[in-house]
Amino acid sequence: MTDPKEPCETAEGPKRVRGRRRRLDLVLDLIIDHGHISVEDLVTELGVSPATVRRDLDALADQQLVIRSHGGASANPDARSLPMRYRASRNAEQKERIASRAVDLVQPGSVIGLNGGTTTTAVAHELASRQEFRDAERPTVLVTNAVNIAQELAVRRHLQLVVTGGVVRESSYELVGSWAEQLLAQIRIDTMFVGINAINAIDGASTHDEAEANISARLIDRSSRVVVVADSSKVGADAFARIGPVESIDELVTDDAADPEALAALREAGVTVHLVEGAGQKR
């Protein structure tokens, strides 16, 4: 329900964002992008009243997604605390195109691995919907440590689902810990799609959490081919915990807004780069 105190939209004024859920997502994106944003700036950006902005910031702070300050709010320094439903909406079109290109690289009936993340979840959706996988003589085996992916694909008859053990991390829905080791020691993955927080030619692939990095590294160790799937905002970036060196990565699928110098360095390091057309969104 819209706030009755919100100003009416005018021909020259800002366009009002309709729907509280959509507005909260946009407010969160703006705070993440800028680090800190004031009430006044949000009023100008969204075309709503200061009272509405304050209520939105209070709601996000109550969920521990932002840190409330006098006159505005700041990004939570722990990016891992952002639930996947908020991160999934960022660069959504790029992720869908990346997922489509990624699935072009694999064959029905093979063994495919997916770690957790919004881009690998998009790959899972693409695998579930592709007709050639549905029509294949034998099911495609899908190995994952992501609870959300397992839940969504469990009913797909053309996909044989294998889930690693472990403890669930609430921010990413990934199973982590040593319990997965026994299972992974017994299997072999043809193609592993790896979602990451950062990739560059010096550090390779990395993420924000060391436990997630460890299980992703184990999945890579059991894979014949490793394909990183990541939107352009991750290319050339840095993150805390390394998943694997650049030598462990065979291919990268990303969008064409990625930093050309970072891509050139990855190619020089031996990574095959697949670029998809961007969706006109800001990085």
| 43-67 confidence digits (pLDDT tens) | 998 889 999 999 999 988 887 778 9
Helix (H, G, I), strand (E, B) or coil at 176: strand
Helix, strand, coil % over all residues of the chain, rounded to 5? 40, 25, 35
**Total Cβ atoms within 10 A of residue 211:** 17
Q: Compute the mean pLDDT over every residue in the chain, rounded to the nearest whole number.
A: 86
Mean pLDDT of 89-107: 87
Whether the CB-CB separation of 103 and 130 falls below 8 Å is answered with: yes
Taking the C-alpha atoms of residue 183 and residue 187, their distance in angstroms, rounded to an integer, is: 7
Mean pLDDT of 195-218: 94
* Selected residue with higher pLDDT from 120 and 30: 120
Indicate the range of 150-164, 193-207, 268-282 predicted with least confidence.
Answer: 268-282
> Is pLDDT at 138 greater than 90 in this prediction?
yes
Mean pLDDT of 213-230: 96
pLDDT band at 7 (very low <50, low <70, confident <90, very high): very low
The CATH classification of domain 20-77, taken from the options 1.10.10.10, 1.10.3080.10, 2.60.40.10, 3.20.20.370: 1.10.10.10
Domain ranges for the chain, please list them: 20-77, 86-276
pLDDT of residue 4: 40
Mean pLDDT of 91-101: 88
Beta-sheet pairing, 167-169 with 174-176 = antiparallel
- The H or E element containing residue 224 is strand 223-229
> Is pLDDT at 87 greater than 60 in this prediction?
no
pLDDT of residue 38: 94
Helix (H, G, I), strand (E, B) or coil at 171: coil
- We find that the CATH architecture of domain 86-276 is 3-Layer(aba) Sandwich (3.40)
For 151, residues 6+ apart whose C-beta sits below 8 A from its C-beta are: none
pLDDT of residue 281: 44
